[in-house]
Amino acid sequence: MDLTLAEGIVKASALLGAGLCMGMGALGPGLGEGFVAGKACEGIARSPENASLITRTMLVGQAVSESTGIYSLVIALLLIFST
């Protein structure tokens, strides 16, 4: 399977886009989830009797915050495999 120059440029841009998409897409969720977990540590230290409640809220919040990371992963995989 040989590519013409034009096809090559399209495919190559899709792959570079996939790299940039996953790279920048990981930035926000990573930072946001870290912030949630940091605040949860602080909260659990201050009121340990609510530890399970705080942990549950932390995990739900992180799951929501993770969604954009998963969107980026999906788009990156689409760009790699279906162009």
Partner 1 sequence: MVLTNEHIQMAAFLGAGISVGLGAITTGIGSGIIAGESAYGLVRQPKANDQLFRTMLIGQAAAQTAGIFALVISMLLIYGRSDLPEGGWYRAASYLAAGLAMGLGSIGPSLGAGYAGGQACNAVARMPKESNSIMGNMLIGQALSQTSAIFALVVAFLLIYSIPVQPADISTGRIIVKTLAIIGAGLSIGFGTLGPGSGIGYVAGKASNMVGRFSHEKSTIMRTMFLGAAVSESTAIYSLVVSFLLIFAL
Query: Rule CB under 8 A: is residue 31 a binding residue for partner 1?
Result: yes
Query: Rule CB under 8 A: is residue 34 a binding residue for partner 1?
Result: yes
Q: What is the number of other CB atoms lying within 10 angstroms of the CB of residue 76? A: 21
Give the nearest distance from C-beta 36 to partner 1 in angstroms. 7
Cα(37)–Cα(20) distance, rounded to whole angstroms? Answer: 26
Q: Which of 68, 65, 77 is nearest to 19 (CA)?
A: 77
Residues at the contact surface with partner 1, assessed by CB under 8 A: 2-9, 11-13, 15-20, 22-42, 44-46, 48, 51, 54-55, 58-59, 62, 66, 69-70, 72-73, 76-77, 80
